[in-house]
Structure 1
């Protein structure tokens, strides 16, 4: 029997969780009386249509694309949970028109991304990836040529939102000079310097870190 014709949907509200959303979400929903289908991957428009008639809550991450056409296939949908930072993968105007609530988790992995960015900056500046590859090839290269501390280096951040601002603070605490560019008017934190254009930023920094979602 297909999910769209499961008789349990008439008794309990149904949630569809895509893209390997944490099992804790499924457990909480089941405790609240929901029927839950949890899949480890995203679905294309045709595949998602097999669930559409019975789903009232849809949980996604960044890979799923919820266009107006896709949202229109869910006659009972009341809410979309974006278990990620952004909502640009959802047609928010259409969702609003249909009365579908959309929520996201803008701070869910901010610190994780910042720490990963810092780790990559240090690895590239100290040439750790090159040294690691050489060591695995049996070459013990003790030369420090081309390797530098991050202290005193200039970091350029494109996109000064939740992640960009926190990266700015952490990088500055490591002794980096921070400049940033954002199309929106953002308040500089600490000693960070705002650039008036992307060109100005790129001409004045040693390292660039991008934290934008692809929108103009």
Structure 2
């Protein structure tokens, strides 16, 4: 029986969805390093991870027969997407499922930092009554600077405006400003006016180290800083210095460049013990609601790809969905190098062996092409092997009486 290996405790609602696709679900509670993952993937068809396990070129080279990978999170920088695509391995994530949870955490932390609730809380826990308005502000009327105006950034923009904040943002891509938000021409322009700066950019390699001493120097004196996106984006040593000298009034950090692999492992950071600093263990999307949504979404995508070849919202293969036909007896999912004439050669091969094409769809993404073909006649083994042996073939799967309908 085909197997799905789930690491890092995605929600258990994923299990019956994968089981319904014909997969035996095996779980491991923590992340794995390269060697552990290579050993664990023997006999595994589908892999599910979260943010800590890294699926590298070395892992994929050791298991090129892996069918699909699902990350039960937004980010995909922990997976070598190009290496997976070159082996015809589809990768799926959850780009929308925990958006609201991250936004609510950001809003809560913006209010807490602006009111200096962490300082008041710490004093009372230490047995000191310190009732004062010093350094405490309403968020209404203050300016929020959002760096990265994607799914999270846009929703945060709307909620912040509802609280009475003025919103400015910067994104490298052209993005439509929602409500009264104002797009700025550069990161520096945002930093110059924002009372609170929050990062919501993706984990691509080019963003590493994007926020360091230079950017902190450009921020307004007394502004607050949040990072709920990726730990390797920010120089936390520089942030520590700015908090200690009072240039930055407070910070909230949910992500770190080096995070423990499992609960209970020791944690250290240069930001520990600083005043008005909120540290959370990568829980931006860790609400029960978000985890249920993510479990359903990613397991659903993995299931539909495994049983029907659907790549809707795949992050590394062309996005295709061919609705199944009642007449289809076989479905052939064919990942190949994107070179001219491949589709014609495939269809010629099917025709020469007497296979009748009932339906077909083709898409390309950079160097990768993907064709899904439904066959309503018998599918001779010789035809399958002929396509499999083509020079540009990366992966070929045959599904019997495909069922892709929900």
Do these two structures clear the TM 0.5 threshold for a shared fold by scoring above it? yes
CA deviation after TM superposition for structure 1 residue 51, in Å? 2.2
Q: Partner residue of 1:3?
A: none
TM-score, normalization: structure 1? 0.90
Segments of structure 1 that go 5 or more residues without pairing to the other structure are 1-11
CA RMSD of aligned residues (A): 1.3
Which of 102, 105, 110 is the matching residue for 1:116? 105
Counterpart contact for 2:145–2:191, Cα < 8 Å: yes
SS of alignment partner, residue 72 of structure 1 = helix
Distance of 2:28 and 2:11 partners within structure 1 = 10
Distance of 1:69 and 1:115 partners within structure 2 = 38
Q: Quick check: 26-35 or 65-74, which moved more? A: 26-35
Residues 1:148 and 2:137 aligned together: yes
Counterpart contact for 1:64–1:89, Cα < 8 Å: yes
Q: Partner residue of 1:46?
A: 35
Which of 194, 198, 208 is the matching residue for 1:205? 194
Q: Quick check: 27-36 or 51-60, which moved more? A: 27-36
Aligned 1:11-160 pairs, distance under 5 A: 12-160=1-149
CA deviation after TM superposition for structure 1 residue 213, in Å? 2.8
CA deviation after TM superposition for structure 1 residue 214, in Å? 3.7
Deviations 1:105-134 (A, max 9, x none): 101110000000000000000111111111
Distance of 2:25 and 2:181 partners within structure 1 = 46
SS of alignment partner, residue 27 of structure 1 = helix
CA deviation after TM superposition for structure 1 residue 53, in Å? 2.6
Counterpart contact for 2:4–2:26, Cα < 8 Å: yes
Residues 1:161 and 2:150 aligned together: yes
**Larger RCO (CA within 8 A; separation ≥ 6):** 2
CA deviation after TM superposition for structure 1 residue 31, in Å? 4.4
Which of 196, 199, 203 is the matching residue for 2:185? 196
Distance of 2:88 and 2:45 partners within structure 1 = 12
Counterpart contact for 1:113–1:163, Cα < 8 Å: yes
CA deviation after TM superposition for structure 1 residue 52, in Å? 2.2
> Where in structure 1 do 4 or more consecutive aligned residues deviate above 4 Å?
none
Q: Partner residue of 1:9?
A: none
CA deviation after TM superposition for structure 1 residue 65, in Å? 1.3
Residues 1:170 and 2:159 aligned together: yes
Counterpart contact for 1:21–1:38, Cα < 8 Å: no
CA deviation after TM superposition for structure 1 residue 95, in Å? 1.3
Counterpart contact for 1:53–1:73, Cα < 8 Å: no
* Structure with the higher strand share, 1 or 2: 2
Change (3 A) 1:31 1:102: same
SS of alignment partner, residue 78 of structure 2 = coil
Distance of 2:110 and 2:64 partners within structure 1 = 47
Distance of 1:199 and 1:75 partners within structure 2 = 44
The count of residues paired between Structure 1 and Structure 2 equals: 205
Structure having the higher Rg: 2
